[in-house]
Amino acid sequence: MFEVRPRDLIWLYIFLLYVPLCLLVYRRLSPSLSPTSKRLTIGMLTAQVLVMVLSLAIRPTSLFQEWLWKLGAEWNIPSALASAQLALVAFVALLTAWLTRTIPAWQRLYLLGLGLIFLFLGLDEFFDFRIFIDNLRGHYMTVGAAMVVATIIVAVRSPRRSWIWQICLLLGLSIVAVGGLVFDVSSDFCGTIGFLRPSGGCLEPDYFEESLEILGVWLALIALLGQFSRIVPCPHPRVRHALYVAPVLWILVVARASPVPDVPYQKFGYGIQPALVRFESEEYLYGYHIERKDEAVGFQLYSYPWGSNDIGLGYSIHLVDQTRGGSVASRDNLLKRDRSFQLFGDNFVRVYAQEIEIEFPPEAPVNRALWVVLTLWRQRDDEYARQKVLSSDLPLLGESQVILGELVLPAASAAPPTRPLAAFDSGVALHAVSMPERAITGEALEITFSWGSDESGGEDLMQFLHFGHLSPPGEGGSAEGGAESFQSGSWFVFDQQPLGPRLPTRLWYAGLADSETWHVMLPADLPPGRYSVFTGLYRARDQVRVPARQADGRLWLDARVPLGIIMIE
């Protein structure tokens, strides 16, 4: 068993594929070609060999270079050349049918049909129409079988001296069929080939498929040029120039029609968030966009399957309650390749856009923080196997659940009071507080806070409660705003989010009006007596208090809002 690098095996494969066929063409077919046809044959062979050599020799330093030279990809240099060769076959067939008057009408109709078929194949090679047409592979098989039957019929009814060109065409179609039917459905091969074993990587089927298809189309081109040389042995100079210009003009036209020139330097924009999430199915998520609507939320996912098998892959979007868990709304879709790709970011990553929309059910909870969770799955029979996340720059809820973001469904609320108890500089207002006059140590103290917001949230805020033990008058200095003083060291502090974990302030929205009842467990060893209660807000990121203002605009001292006095027994 000999170990060999995959690239070396591909070099060997291309050598063994091209050399015998090129020698056969040189010995048996080339002498029958006109000088114009010979130049076209040699030119197209040189171009395709050069592109394949560069595709193998270039070591890409970015995803853009990898895409630009990758065999089997669309809208890049190899696909442009392959498309131009197919278009040249179509042009030769149509030109032969138009120029000659010496062959029967049915044979001209046959050439016309070949020209139109190869013209469509040339467009599909570059633009990848298979993502728009269901079962395009089946249609190709049907059309290919019809072409073979028609070519055999033409050969039977043609002079024997022209059979060599029909045989060449059939050989070319057969090679294309082998590449399309055998290697196009294969995944990367990592096993042994006879006495050879790939080392340091796997064999990519794209090189085998594309080289067979390009070579098969080249043989079809020779077959059509051979018939052209026989029927039009001395074409007009304008015709010769048209044959030389046709492939170059074709590349310029399809390159101009390609969407690639419209987005080569496009950054993520229009609310699109960049991401890099890799699933075990080799599906990559490169970006997403979330759009809120009145009764629904829409999503666009920008992904690309680097693997060769995306059959049965689908994705789900769930809105998950952050505190209670469980999905409150969801939607499932199969992955589709029916949207034009775009190129995003500095690395020119190719992506497909997936769209999905979730309508809010009537029972969906309002004013609760919801995670937007993406899962990828593969359907096999009646089972839906979740695809594990191999790497992600987004947070995960589980090994197969990616958190794309979070949102809140707003609740209809009454108009807030015109004079709040305290207005904070962050746009948050404390409208009212309901607190009992007495409490018992070791038990829960219930305090209800009514909040409102004039702005959309942007950061996490924490709320504090300070209980200061008061001493009778005359036993110490004066308290804030009163004749009593705080006993030294007798303080109790309690902090949590204003509306609890169900709705962090980062998700508050303009027009919010909601309340939360706190259950503050008083320590059993808390000294009994009268306590002055204060509250306020501070930023979670740096523990700095948020300034608070009274109804008349004056600042509360130390950003603390006095709530009153409570007797703790």
pLDDT at 349: 60
Q: pLDDT band for position 448 (50/70/90)? A: very high
Question: Which tokens is 336 given?
Answer: 């589709």
Q: pLDDT band for position 132 (50/70/90)? A: low
Q: Above 50 in pLDDT, residue 483?
A: no
pLDDT at 267: 43
pLDDT at 470: 86
Cβ(409)–Cβ(427) under 8 Å? no
Is pLDDT larger for residue 419 or for residue 560?
A: 560
Share of the chain above pLDDT 70, in %: 82
Q: Above 60 in pLDDT, residue 348?
A: no
Amino acid identity of 480? E
Amino acid identity of 390? L
Q: Above 60 in pLDDT, residue 482?
A: no
Give the Cα-Cα-Cα angle 425, 516, 426 (nearest 5 degrees).
10
User: 539-561, pLDDT tens digit by residue?
Assistant: 999 999 999 999 888 999 999 99
Supply the pTM of this predicted model: 0.58
Q: Above 80 in pLDDT, residue 386?
A: yes
β-pairing, 396-398 vs 401-407, is: antiparallel
Cβ contacts of 554-558, under 8 Å, gap ≥ 24: 556/422, 557/480
Q: pLDDT band for position 13 (50/70/90)? A: confident
Provide, for the chain, the percentages of residues in helix, strand and coil under a 3-state DSSP scheme, each rounded to the nearest 5. 35, 30, 35
Is pLDDT larger for residue 39 or for residue 100?
A: 39
Cβ(352)–Cβ(362) under 8 Å? no
Q: Determine the length of the chain.
A: 569
What does residue 147 show for φ and ψ, rounded to 5 degrees?
Answer: -65, -40
User: 164-187, pLDDT tens digit by residue?
Assistant: 888 888 988 888 888 766 665 545
Lowest mean per-residue pLDDT among 218-227, 288-297, 344-353: 344-353
pLDDT at 411: 86
Lowest mean per-residue pLDDT among 193-207, 347-361, 485-499: 193-207
Q: What integer is the mean pLDDT of 117-121?
A: 89
Q: What integer is the mean pLDDT of 144-165?
A: 85
Is pLDDT larger for residue 21 or for residue 415?
A: 21
Q: pLDDT band for position 264 (50/70/90)? A: very low
Three-state SS annotation for 326-367: CEEEEEEEECCCCCCCEEECCCCEEEEEEEEEEECCCCCCCC
Q: pLDDT band for position 261 (50/70/90)? A: very low
